[in-house]
Each structure stands twice: as C-alpha cells, then as structure tokens.
Structure 1
Amino acid sequence: MSEANSPPPAPLVASLGDPAGVGPELLAAAWAERERAGLQPFAVVGGVRLLAAAAASRGIELPIEPIASLAEAAAVFPRALPILGTLDGPWRPGEPDADGAALALASLERATELAVACEAGGLVTGPIAKSRLADVGFHYPGQTEFVAHACGIAAQDAVMMLAGPQLRTIPLTVHVALANVPGAISVDLIRRRARIAAEALRRDFGITRPRIAVAALNPHAGEDGRMGDEEARIVGPAIAALQAEGIDATGPHPADALFAPHARADYDVALCMYHDQALIPLKALDFDSGVNVTLGLPIVRTSPDHGTAFGIAGTGRASAGATIAALRMAGECAARRASA
C-alpha cells in the first residue's frame, strides 16, 4: 500500500518519565511546538496536574484534555494535550522521591501496554532514574530491556541505536565495564546486531540498502596485531560473513577517523564496539536532537537521548529538541510501518 493511500498511523503514546526531572516540562514544550515541528498526534499517560505545573514554569500556555481512550487523541491533539488516565502527582522539580518513581513506572507500564496492544502507533519513553525505579520494584537494567520483555523479545535482540541529524550509532556492548569489552564481543554478536540494524533501517527508516560501518576495537584497527588481535580474530571475520549474506558492511574502521564529516557520508549507521565509542560522537554532534531508538521490536519505541537532568529541572534551561526529535522520529517510523 502506498503512503498516499494508507490510513494514518494510530496516535503515539508517551510516558511521563521521572516527574522530578525534565521529562514533563519537555513534553509540554513539544506539544506547544507541534505545528512547527510537524509532530503527529500523541497522548501522555497520566500527569494532568503535573504537566500543567511544569508547563507554567516555562511560561507555556498548555490546554489539557483528559481522554478515556487513545482513539480520542487525534481529534483532541490540535487544541489540547491529550492525557490518558488518572495517574498524577505533585510537581517537585529536582526532588526525586519514591512516589515520583512509582508514578514514572506506572506511566511506563501503561504506555507500553498500549503500544504492545497496537492501540498506539509508537511508544516514546520519558527519561527515568534507574536507581530510583529499582527502589520501587523495577528489575531491569533500563527501559529498553523492560520494553523488549513486554514485547516478548530477548534483551540481546533489542538493539539500541542513537540517531541524530548527522549520525547514527549502535553500541555493540552497552553497560559493560571497558575492561570486559574484549571478552564480550564476538562474531555472532556483531552479525546479530548488524542484521537487526539492516532490517530496521529498511523497514522503519526507508533505507533500501543500509550501509553499516563497523568500528575497530583497538587503536589503528589493531595495526596488524601490534595493538590487539580482535580485529583479525573477531571483527574482520564477522564483516566477511555479513558481506556474504548480502549486507553492505565495511571495516574494521579505525574509530578515530570514522566520525569525520567525509567519513560519515559513506555509511548509514556505525556499529561501535562499546558504549562511549558510540555515544561520545553522537552527543558531540547532536546532543540536543539525539534520539534513542530500539531496533528489533514489533513496536516503534524511541526516547530522547538524555537523562532526567534533575539539576536543571524547572529552571527552563533544558532544551526540548531531543524530545521533539524522539516524537517526530517515532511518528515517521510508525507512518512507514502503517504504509507497508
């Protein structure tokens, strides 16, 4: 079905994030910028009083309209921010507590349920403090693993991609101590992550033949074994196997040159060996518009690529750019899925 003839996707659903952080005020700011930013309709799970107070702190006139079902969101969205459900709490920026964490978790759970049930076109998760959620019964390393479990997907098959206007990166290993990275990478892991990335870039981003640049682990790509042999033992064979499958993978590329402007023109995503190798260039280039996208799920899930920022919550200093980008990207991916 062509995009011109396909019905619009269902509205997006957003979770509040930690109410003591910047999430609520940035959702309000995103709604205020909805026309300029070209955002598709979205509803927030809970937070009528919370969002009103957060918006007022930034001088935003925010009409709010409670809705009984997500199906009402599209009609309400042009005139007011649709709020689904009665979850709520006080707005105390910069003062995280157990009640706020419980509210964040309840909003995340309900928003995820709606996305998994296909009532929502996509899920946008607000920033949370994982340590705070752990105190109220959250037993996952992060929201990515939580959403993957809700979708029935193994955590290792939910791939985190960081995406901005200038760069997309995927960390092969995520929350792993740097000393443990060499033992954690494998030919199978590289191949599995690259396959998931290639399929997602085709399906959700409309890239017909995704180009994947695979970063080296060691300086100078190991320099023929003088600085490590992981490139020869692991990375190189994985790339050869991907190429044999018809995937346009190249490398191992020395990471110190991979993110230069001329190099970025040659690939659609960089598959990096560890957390900071992927996140430092993304945040250096696209900090205020970076999006965390989970690939490999049956649903669309995005999140702004920043944390709760408790220290500046309520000051008006936080940029809504990444929240707007996460909502826009979720809407675009949902539209592509709806038209497939």
Structure 2
Amino acid sequence: MKNKGRTLLPLTERLDLASRSRAVSPEAAAKLVQRFSDIRAQWLFFGNADVEILSGLTGRFWEHPAVDMSTYRGFCHSFRLAVNYDNDFFPPPYIPKRSDNAYEPVWGVTTNNAMVMLGLMLLDHARGQLIPRDFYHCMRMTLRQYLDALVDLSFRKDGTQDPFRSNTWQFWREVFLKDYDGSKPLAEALTDILKRYLTAWQEFHRLDHILRCTDDLSCYLENERIGDPAEADLPDPGSENVAPGVLRSQFFLSERDYRPEALRALAEKSSSAELRELLEKYISEERLAYAMREINMAVTDLYLLWVEPYLQMEEYHYERHL
C-alpha cells in the first residue's frame, strides 16, 4: 500500500518491526544506552504509589547534591548512597562486602528492597506498554549487546579510554555471560534475575508468614497450606498478563533476623508444640543460607547492570566506531 509516495506496511509487519531490537551495530547499542541514561527519572515511576514506595527506601537521598532527578544516571546515585548508608563506605565498583552472617542481605534490607523495586519498575517499562519508549528500546537489545555497550561507554569525555573502568566492565561482562544467556533480550535477562530473587525470597516469606500467625495458630493450621518450595505458585514477573505496578513491595525482604538460632529462639517462646514443629520443618541452615546467597546474587546483578554503569557515565564519543 502506498500513501503519498510512501510504502505502508501491513499492521502485522509494522508491529514486528517495532518489536525488533534497534541495536543493529555497536554504535547503535551505545546510543540506546546513552539515551536510556538521559531519560528523566520521574518517567520511571508508574504513578504516585511507586514514588511513595521508593521514597520510603531511598527518598532521604533524593535531595543530596550527588543526585540529579532530571536523568536516570543522576537518579542512580541515590542507590549508591543507599549502599553507603547501609554499610561503611567502600570504593567503586561498590561490590558487596563479605558478611559473616550467611542469613542476612549483604547490602542491608533497605538497599535490597530498593534494588528489587528498581528491577520491577524497569520490567514494567520493558514490556513496551509505558512511555517513554526509550526504556523499552534499550531492553530489546541482547544482554551481550548491552554488556558490550557498557564496555564501550567506559571512556572519558575526551574520547580516551579509562583503563580501570574498561577492564572492570570487561571482567563483569565475562561473569554475566557465564551466568546468563547473552543471546536473550535484556528484558528476559532482567526477568530471569527477578525470578531468581523471588524463588529465594519465598523461603523467608514462608517463615515470616508462620511467625505472623502465632497469635492464631489453630486458624492458620486449618486454613493455610505450606507446600514445598518447588511446588510454590510464584508469579511470573515477565508475564504479559501482569499489569504495571502490581508486583512491588509485597516481595520485599523483612527486617527479621533469619539466623536459624534466632528463629528457633522465637519458636521456643511459644507454648504451642504445633508451632515449634512447623517452624522446625522450615528452618534449614543449608536451605536458608542458599536462599540468601541467591538473593544477594540477584540484587548484586541488578545493581551492576542498572546502577553502577550509570554512576560515572559521560558523553559517549561515537566516532570510535567510525
């Protein structure tokens, strides 16, 4: 079909073209990431509820001189400040410190939940249902293209390479490509990371639920069923049927002390043998340590992919690819 000399494609073909990645070259991929970094931070939020939730986690830093809410890259500094607030300051690339407690989030609960919130908001945009579309177009490139773009963007304003940043991101590129399929769209990689988090989070959510029911244990035992973790009906964060803004703070980690000895101490305070038996069933040192390790890995991956690269991002010199 032609319209004033232009060829108009059928709707199905136009939709197919719109869904394809625009990262047709290293230069194009770098431009998409640069455009992503320049998006106004306010456009990331889906309504006032998102603002209120994240404000409760990182809002104390939004007025900090290092934070610029006019761009996504400037907004990322609020997450770095949250990391520093939850921990003693440590230098770039802000890698979590080792903890002697295998049952606590390595960056603290506030940072953990802030990163999960960021991942869920980005995933809403990755479905292409929200504006601006710059989030969506960036998420259509493959994970490998995105990682390559991050390596390419590790340059100073004058176009010369920053060896430390470039080598750092080259290292993390190899790490990510060992854990995730580099040929998948970035949106699917984000979904995989969030699924990894949610599967592990469920271990602690189950314990929280049992402990919340201590005041009415009999009702709990009669009306609730706790299945094996492998049988749990977890939401699919990547499902097209999940409306924007639905998956949010219900998947945050609580401030509870999850050390097995602390959980058993709570059980011992109850006069209910049923409660003690129920808790003992789900207090497993090995399983809880593994779940927290998975949570820490997922949160660290979110930070390294969608926060750390933007903390020092400068203007990109596209002539490098010419």
TM-score w.r.t. the length of structure 2 is 0.26
Q: Give the greater-gyration-radius structure (CA).
A: 2
TM-score w.r.t. the length of structure 1 is 0.25
Larger fraction in strand: 1
